Amino acid sequence: MRVLVINSGSSSIKYRMFNAEDFTVLAAGLLERVGEADSRLTHHWLSASGEYGETVYDRQIQNHREGLMLVDAALAESGSLGSLSELFGVGHRVVHGGEVFHKPTLIDKTVIEAIRKLIPLAPLHNPANLAGIEASMEHLPNVPQVAIFDTSFHQTMPQHSFLYALPYELYTEHHVRRYGFHGTSHQYVSKKAAEHLGKPLEGLNIITLHLGNGASAAALKGGRSMDTSMGMTPLEGLMMGTRCGDLDPAIHFYLWRSSGISNEGLESLLNHQSGLRGICGVNDMREIQHMADQGNPRALLAMDMFCYRVKKYIGAYYAVMGRVDAIVFTGGIGENAPRIRKGACKGLDPLGILLDDEKNESRSKDVFEIQRTEGSVRLLVVPTNEELEIAQQTVKKILPSTAEKS
């Protein structure tokens, strides 16, 4: 039996197919430029020899439904899916679930309409996620489908954590509050950390740092989110690849008055032209580190700012929880940039956060530790796997429903 995970963007479909029993990755791919003349699907599959092959399909794909049909064809041609009857379920990543969705949810017409009503909270993401869901529901009407929401993991935050200091009516009438994102990643790496430490997650206080082009921190107590850095939108919190992160809200009004920038221009500025790119012109941390090695002062500044923001959140969440058992680094930067991990931990020795320089330079596809032996806080690098988490949650959600129907 197979489970398919779909992450649908406005002009793309990213997917991964797992064996529903042992969660081996059987196939994966990315369809790009949906709706354009030069659409391309790059498909990888697990061969009988245990190695992955690659096939590229160049053809125009008009919409997401055509895209899913091409994905099905690629799965069939590569032998990853003999027939649709082998498909146990489909898991969909959905960015924003608001306060409506607290857990994985079987998709039906009511759920689709609820996701549609949440579009104002995530106008850049939810419409694309919904397009993938509707195409998949139309193409695979007899296959159970599950929505996994980025925001649902953070629904355990207490009111004093998720509310903004604004008139309370803005929350009750317009749903203005902190929602948090990257929930699937924070949940996955916290479970892997507990497994590595050999301790029950329920007894651990963990700070998880998902550091990539998008970045967020979370304070997890007993496996439950107590606070997280992203807010009502993914713009708040840490400095990111192209997003500014925390910002004095009065800057919006100042820029509007002094430069005449429009609301649309300001939104683009804060989301797409700020962060690392805004400081040094580049948002890829690998390139920034290379620039820094060449002595580029802006690149050095961008790295210092990035690490400083991460360090501030570590300190804040340490204070919030009172005790921290482990700090987890994950995401493209968190997993692969020892210099950033070192900068984020520098000067935190009094808190028991002592990074070992030699261990920090290690590379592994598995969980590994980077703290000195005398450190009281375990420092872990945990590769994230959001698709696997979605697949596992999808199977777990469908199984009881399957049992009820039988």
Q: Which two tokens stand for residue 296?
A: 């580029």
Please choose, from the candidates 157, 107, 172, the residue with its C-alpha nearest in 3D space to the C-alpha of residue 133. 107
Burial of 48 (0-12, 13-18, 19+ CB in 10 A): exposed
Amino acid type, 35: G
Read off φ and ψ for residue 148, nearest 5 degrees: -115, 120
The residues, any chain, with a CB within 8 Å of residue 97's CB and separated by 6 or more, are: 115, 118, 147, 149, 150, 151, 152
**Cα–Cα distance between 55 and 12 in angstroms, integer?**
17
CB of 241 closer than 8 Å to CB of 363: no
Choose the catalytic residue: 150, 227, 349, 366: 150
Which residue matches tokens 């909270």?
121
Sign for the pseudo-dihedral over CA of 344, 350, 353, 354: positive
**Cα–Cα distance between 214 and 192 in angstroms, integer?**
21
Catalytic, 150? Answer yes
- Positions marked catalytic: 150
